[in-house]
């Protein structure tokens, strides 16, 4: 089974984290078939990018849609395990290479409380500043026939990864078609089935909108790109989270946003062999029931120490070993949890001196 995302949020060139920082091998999906969208056609389109990447093109990993001036709708698996500090939203993005659109920080992430692997694969992101861009209205009923449109950035049939936003029209398929392809992994009550031979969402489109006509020249968001199997294959249509079926969570005025730290932790002390380093986290936001600090050294065997701090603990130490020196750098990862998983804030790695 293949996920429809390019990759999770990675600390480029440094740490590969769990959760949204999954590797590309977990099944990426991007637009397959279709053509370039017209500039300005989808002003509510959002590109999710790694916050530590200056280039939108280099940092883009999922899509989303602006559903209110301060909220973005996307897939839960795009942001699972991530801190808002790790993700920026580019509202109104069109050419990732040109750097257009308004790039905005996130302040909070909420995933559907019933999210589990491929079910209820939906999340709402809170923007740090309100956007003036038009918003995408949500469908209030489930479309059952006709064509829909998927929008995103991604690999084409020839393997190229364009920077220009692309679109493809896909036929809505019966629930029976997706049950035949995915068995119990398809839930008719909360998911939609769409796609045909040569036309599909594919690697990198996760979280992006599946839209249908509103009958007056505009669009309604009917689905969110979730998962699928082989791109563009008639026997394996794309699966989309059904927006109207999940509207109670999407439209909740006060969803349960996950706790996070609003500033990355930092390593204090001289990073020399034999020296003791201290990891000090930033300020916490939200309800925190537990904390975890993990010291990280790039290269095998990976994490060198995992310090589980007590609820009142606010720092953890680590003594640099000779075996760490060949890897040259060390850092710390600080996570807070509220019973629904941990959410990370990660320090920059510091060089180890012999």
End-to-end, the C-alpha distance of the chain in Å comes to: 46
- Work out the burial of residue 7: count CB atoms within 10 Å of its CB; fewer than 13 is exposed, 13-18 middle, 19 or more buried: buried
Look-up of token digits 């036929």? 171
8 Å CB contact between 266 and 280: yes
Active site residue ranges:
77, 121, 206
Tokens coding 49 = 């990018």
Q: Which residue has the tokens 């990198």?
A: 204
Residue 184: CB atoms within 10 Å: 7
CB 236 within 8 A of CB 230: yes
The answer to whether 222 touches 242, Cβ cutoff 8 Å, is yes
What is the rounded CA–CA span in Å between residue 229 and residue 296?
34
Q: Residue 141 half-sphere exposure, CB side, CA atoms within 13 Å?
A: 5
DSSP code, position 95: B
Task: Decide: 232 and 202 in contact? Cβ < 8 Å.
Answer: yes
Write b or e for each residue in 245-280: b if 16 or more Cβ atoms lie within 10 A of its Cβ, otherwise e.
Answer: bbeebbeeeebebbbbbeebbbbeeebeeeeebebe
């Amino acid at each position: 089974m293949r996920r429809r995302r390019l990759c999770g949020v990675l600390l480029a060139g440094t740490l590969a984290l769990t959760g949204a920082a999954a590797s590309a091998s977990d099944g990426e999906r991007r637009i397959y078939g279709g053509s370039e969208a017209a500039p300005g056609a989808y002003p509510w389109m959002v590109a999710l990018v790694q916050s530590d990447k200056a280039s939108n093109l280099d940092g883009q990993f999922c899509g989303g849609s602006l559903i209110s001036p301060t909220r973005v709708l996307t897939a839960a698996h795009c942001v699972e395990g991530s801190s808002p500090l790790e993700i920026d939203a580019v509202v109104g993005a069109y050419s990732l290479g040109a750097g257009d659109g308004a790039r905005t920080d996130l302040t909070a992430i909420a995933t559907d409380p019933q999210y589990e692997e491929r079910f209820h694969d939906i999340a709402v992101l809170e923007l740090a500043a309100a956007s003036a861009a038009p918003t995408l209205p949500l469908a209030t009923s489930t479309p059952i026939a006709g064509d829909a449109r998927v929008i995103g950035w991604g690999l084409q049939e020839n393997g190229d990864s364009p920077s220009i936003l692309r679109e493809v029209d896909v036929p809505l398929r019966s629930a029976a078609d997706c049950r035949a392809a995915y068995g119990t992994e398809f839930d008719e009550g909360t998911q939609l089935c769409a796609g045909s031979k040569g036309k599909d969402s594919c690697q990198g489109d996760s979280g992006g909108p599946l839209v249908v006509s509103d009958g007056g020249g505009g669009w309604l968001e009917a689905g969110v790109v979730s998962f699928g199997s082989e791109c563009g294959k008639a026997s394996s249509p794309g699966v989309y989270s059904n927006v109207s079926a999940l509207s109670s969570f999407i439209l909740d005025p006060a969803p349960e946003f996950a706790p996070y730290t609003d500033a990355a932790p930092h390593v204090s002390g001289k990073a020399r062999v034999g020296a003791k380093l201290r990891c000090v986290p930033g300020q916490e936001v939200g309800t925190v029931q537990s904390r975890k600090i993990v010291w990280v050294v790039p290269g095998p065997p990976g994490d060198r120490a995992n310090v589980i701090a007590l609820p009142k603990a606010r720092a953890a130490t680590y003594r640099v070993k000779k075996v760490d020196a060949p890897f040259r750098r060390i850092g710390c990862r600080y996570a807070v949890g509220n019973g629904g998983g941990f959410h990370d804030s990660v320090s920059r790695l510091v060089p180890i001196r012999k």
